[in-house]
Amino acid sequence: PCFLSEYVEQYPLYPYAEPRDSFKPKAQYQKQPVAVEGITTFKRDYVPHEVLPVKFKPPEKYVKSDENMDLISTYKQDYNPYPICRVPPCLPRETNYTSNIKMDTIPTYKSDYVPWNESKREMIKPDNTYHPSEAKFDYRTTVQDDYIYKGPVATHSCKPLNPAHITKAPLEDLTNYKLNYVPHPLEKRFVHEHEKYKPSDAPFDGLTTHKQTYKGLAGPPAKIVKPYHSMPTHDLPFSSSTEFREKYQAWPQPPTFTRKPDVYVPPVEKMDLQTTTQTHYTYPKGQPAKSCRPLGYVQKITAPFDSRSTMKDDYKPWHSKKAKPIIPAPELTLPAEPMENLTTFRAHYVPHPPTFTKNFKPGWSAARSNLPFAAETTYAISYTPKEMTKCLASYKEPPGYVFQEMDAVGHKFYCPASETERPLSSKSKERRSSFSGNGLNLSGPKELPVTA
């Protein structure tokens, strides 16, 4: 592949410099040179002493005594009983004052507030008792008496006639649009001829700037920073004994004393199932109590039931008929002929035939579908394809160049054949543009064509 490009020519590669080492301290476990002491604070402070088991005193044997138990308590000795008598009341005696004089039951209110001996005043309220008239009610209202119906009145319309004014002169349909805007003939549309696409004959190299610049440097693989942890290789079984189990041993305990229960001996006599109430309260001459409630007597009545009541006797229903509604005689006479459904609008506004105005708008010519579309853009006009030349670095011996020298890295430098006679100066070397491709470098003047 060709590694020659404009980017490589303008931005040359700089000598490779190794990255400096990091001053950050390494996160590694630093092992102490002194061995770890296997003595804990508990082992150092608490020294084991010889512990002997606790000796228990054997219980004394129970010896049953033949003496009787004294049931006298301290309460019975100190608090002796005394004779009890009824305490007389401390309240004074009631003194009842009795008198033979008759009690005066007139209260103070009646004795102080005595009514005056005055005659009753007559009422000033007038006598407004309503006395209905005995004459027959005629059921006529004030409106019926005052406003007498005089029959329908034929009104005459005073609206002047407005007949349609029809002229025989033709309508002048000239407008400013028709006078000023005269249609002009349309010019023929310009159709651009599209150039045919011509593909390039040069093969596509498929190289990018990333592939040319970043080749990938070979280096050693990354090492693991994790410290190595060695596992114990002995085959001894894991010890299940702990410090607590070694120091604190179980003390021997004496067997617990258990008393044997007495053997149950059933009684020989039979159990008396009678209660104190049954033995003391026997009722030798007792009889069941009789009911003192008199028996209910239901009197049989043969006469029919009287369903009359005071309400039915005093308030008897009246025999009345429903009053007929009082409807006045119709005074309006309706015509026998059917109504004309003709309104004022239908009578005066006669429909006329519509007048259609001629449209003087010029016709619009639509786009012609048979003509090709003008697909010409600014990119197709400005950026024309250029001729592709073969890269000089692809040749083993580039034509028109003569080998001059090779540097320490292994790059070969070539010079044009026209400049072989004159020696190369330092300024001419700086003006060279190097083309790197598969370890081959070409140097030449700036005027040489450079292809990417």
Q: What is the pLDDT of residues 126-156, one digit of tens each?
A: 777 777 788 887 778 888 888 887 777 778 8
Between 366 and 78, the higher pLDDT residue: 78
Tell me how crowded residue 404 is: count the other CB atoms within 10 A of its CB: 13
Tell me how crowded residue 392 is: count the other CB atoms within 10 A of its CB: 22
Check pLDDT > 80 for residue 49: yes
Angstrom distance (rounded) from CA 294 to CA 113? 58
- Position 428 scores a pLDDT of 42
- Position 233 scores a pLDDT of 63
Burial track 361-388 (b if 16+ CB lie within 10 A, e otherwise): eeeeeeeeeeeeeeeeeeeeeeeeeeee
Between 446 and 192, the higher pLDDT residue: 192
For residue range 328-355, list pLDDT tens digits in order: 887 777 778 887 778 888 888 878 888 8
Per-residue pLDDT averaged across 193-222, rounded? 80
- Position 445 scores a pLDDT of 37
The pTM of this model reads: 0.16
Check pLDDT > 50 for residue 448: no
Check pLDDT > 50 for residue 429: no
- Position 372 scores a pLDDT of 67
Closest CA to 442 of 372, 391, 390: 391
- Residue 153 to residues 20, 149, 156, 292, 332, Cα–Cα distance (Å): 125, 11, 10, 102, 12
Check pLDDT > 80 for residue 67: yes
Token readout for 226 is 């994790």
For residue range 174-195, list pLDDT tens digits in order: 888 888 887 888 888 888 888 8
- Position 82 scores a pLDDT of 79
Rounded to an integer, what is the distance from CA 444 to the centroid of its chain? Answer: 74
- Position 439 scores a pLDDT of 38
CB 146 within 8 A of CB 332: no
3-state class of 109 per DSSP? helix
Check pLDDT > 70 for residue 48: yes
Check pLDDT > 80 for residue 325: yes
Widest pairwise Cα distance in the chain: 180
Say which residue the tokens 């000023």 belong to. Answer: 180
Burial track 96-135 (b if 16+ CB lie within 10 A, e otherwise): eeeeeeeeeeeeeeeeeeeeeeeeeeeeeeeeeeeeeeee
CB 152 within 8 A of CB 332: yes
- Position 426 scores a pLDDT of 43
For residue range 344-384, list pLDDT tens digits in order: 888 888 788 888 888 888 776 655 556 666 667 877 777 77
Average model confidence (pLDDT) across the chain: 77
Check pLDDT > 80 for residue 246: yes
Check pLDDT > 50 for residue 433: no
Q: Which DSSP letter does residue 416 get?
A: E
For residue range 309-318, list pLDDT tens digits in order: 888 888 887 7
Token readout for 420 is 């072989």
Per-residue pLDDT averaged across 107-135, rounded? 81
- Position 284 scores a pLDDT of 66
Portion of the chain with pLDDT greater than 90, in percent: 0
- Position 447 scores a pLDDT of 36
